Homo-oligomer: A and B are copies of this chain.
Amino acid sequence: MEIKGNIVVGQSGGPTAVINQSLVGIVLEARKHGSVGKVLGARHGIVGIMNEDFVDLSEQSESALERVALTPAAALGSCRHKPTKEDCEKVFDVFRKHNVHYFFYIGGNDSAETASIINDLARERSYELRVFHVPKTIDNDLRVNDHTPGYGSAARYVALCFAGNDLDNRALPGVKIDIVMGRHAGWLTAASVLAKIDERSGPQLVYLPERPVSLDKIADDIAEVYGRLGRCLVAISEGVCSPDGKLLIEAKITERDSHGNAQLSGSGALGDFIAAHVKAKLSDKYPKIRIRTDTLGYAQRSFAGCVSEVDASEARAVGTAAVKYAMKGDIDGSVVIHRLTDSDEYFAEPQLTKLSDVAKHTKDLPDGYINEEGNGVTEAYIKYAKPLIGKLPILGVLEDKTYK
């Protein structure tokens, strides 16, 4: 059952390549329903609502919206603001003032929590507000979701970046260490293996936050691969911890403190730190060893022109579904992506779950996706992730025919 009123939609947290698909899915579906008045886009998420700073999305042409859908990063602007109780009351007041009865918030687990708090407030005040969280995060760490919109495209970027780095490292052999985003879960780092050309392809080693590891173990692993292949490509999550539970990079911070150096961490600090350790350990045996490191940057979440088609269409679908749920009478919830597992062919669809199911907590890589030694991923992970990143470009290497 529809209720008459305006819609507010907002985007929150780190951008992704397809978050605008969800926005456009919401706007275009809303236009089909007579009870909807205005569709208002909050500029910079919850902050825009508090400031009554809205884009009139009802006035956007369909062609402008379709261009926006293809464009990375949050078109409405995003925010990292975690609202207080007072903020939520302010939001609620703004909604009442502008006759808003539908609220769609596109974001990660923090956004689901914000939506949940506002939802509770509306119930307390007996104001009918239909509140829906729409999932988004390159981190792929939202519970209940098989995977999250944004992950497929970010994983595609990481996979293609590593495919290129591997080919580069075959051409000019050495040790290459690449640091990948993901503070708490290793989903994005795991994706580094998804565009391997053949069994000789790197990354040969993958380190994830789910498996603590010492610097010495990393150096030993690299020495083994380098001794065998004459080269080694390594994927390391920025969130990797040492066995004492501290982030690897914290060892560096301590070390630096004794120098009184103010700049404790830098954009390339973790990679440089690991590279220096590996070089020190391996230089006796390999005095000329070439070690390089890159820290993959914001391109992981917002590179223009590296979108997984599956990801784009699912991001659109969760936006559309949120409005359909709201219009058919559901009063709150989080839209999730559910994968049908009874078929070999990949198929996924939106479903609805409780806001509290998705809020707060996050989802790690399951044990079955990590190899026993804790320095790689399994076939089960590849089977899970491959359908999410879209069709890969054609790549190949020369046939191994030596002239004698």
**Which of A77, A267, A271 has the largest count of B CB atoms less than 10 A from its CB?**
A267
Q: Is the CB of B259 within 8 A of A266?
A: no
Also in contact, A306 and B304, with CB within 8 A (given A74-B171, A395-B67, A399-B59): no
Count residues of A near B (Cβ-Cβ below 8 Å): 80
A356 at the interface (CB under 8 A from B): no
Which of A38, A60, A294, A392 counts the most B-chain CB atoms under 10 A from its CB? Answer: A294
Please state if B260 and A161 are interface contacts (CB–CB under 8 Å): no
Whole-angstrom CA separation of A272 from B301 in the bound complex: 21
Given A268-B266, A303-B161, A306-B306, A298–B168 Cβ distance below 8 Å? Answer: yes
A59 to chain B, nearest CB (A): 5
Interchain CB contact under 8 A, B394 and A70: yes
Please give, as numbers and ranges, the residues of chain B lying within 8 Å of A38 by CB-CB distance.
Answer: 403
A259-B261, A267-B294 known; A78 vs B401 contact (CB < 8 Å): no
Q: B403 to A40, Cβ gap below 8 A?
A: yes
Q: Does A292 lie at the interface of the complex (its beta carbon under 8 Å from any beta carbon of B)?
A: yes
Cβ-based interface call for A73 (8 A): yes
Copies in the complex: 2
CB distance from A283 to the nearest CB of B (A): 13
Q: Which residues 125-184 in A have Cβ within 8 Å of B in the complex?
A: 160-161, 163-165, 167-168, 170-173, 176, 178
Interfacial residues of chain A within 267-321, with CB under 8 A of chain B in the complex: 267-269, 271-272, 276, 292-299, 301-306
Contact residue among B163, B293, B303 (Cβ-Cβ distance under 8 Å from A304)? B163
| Nearest B residue to A74, CB-CB | B171
Q: A272-B268, A305-B306, A396-B68 are in contact. Are A167 and B73 (CB under 8 A)?
A: yes
User: A305 to B64, alpha carbons, bound, how many Å?
Assistant: 27
Return chain B residues, CB-CB under 8 Å to A57. Answer: 398
Decide yes or no whether A220 CB sits under 8 A from chain B. Answer: no
Query: Within 8 Å of chain B (Cβ to Cβ): is A122?
Result: no
Q: Roughly how many angstroms separate A297 CA and B296 CA in the complex, as a whole number?
A: 7
**Whose C-beta in chain B lies nearest to the C-beta of A301?**
B168
Q: Is the beta-carbon distance between A397 and B303 smaller than 8 angstroms?
A: no
Contact with B along A42-54 (1 / 0, CB 8 A): 0000000000011
A393 interface residue (CB < 8 Å to B): yes
In the complex, whether A75 has a CB less than 8 A from a CB of chain B is yes
A216 CB-CB contact with B under 8 Å: no
Q: Are A164 and B268 in contact (CB under 8 A)?
A: no
- Residue pair A54, B403 in contact (C-beta under 8 Å): yes
Contact A164 B267 (CB under 8 A): no
A366 to B: closest C-beta gap in Å: 28
Compute how far the CA of A392 lies from the CA of B271 in the bound complex, rounded to whole angstroms: 32
Q: Which residues of B contact A294 (CB under 8 A)?
A: 267, 295, 297-299
Q: Which residues of B contact A254 (CB under 8 A)?
A: none
Contacts beyond the supplied A56-B402, A59-B399, A164-B304: 8 A-B pairs with Cβ under 8 Å: A56-B401, A60-B399, A73-B164, A76-B398, A165-B302, A292-B298, A296-B297, A304-B395
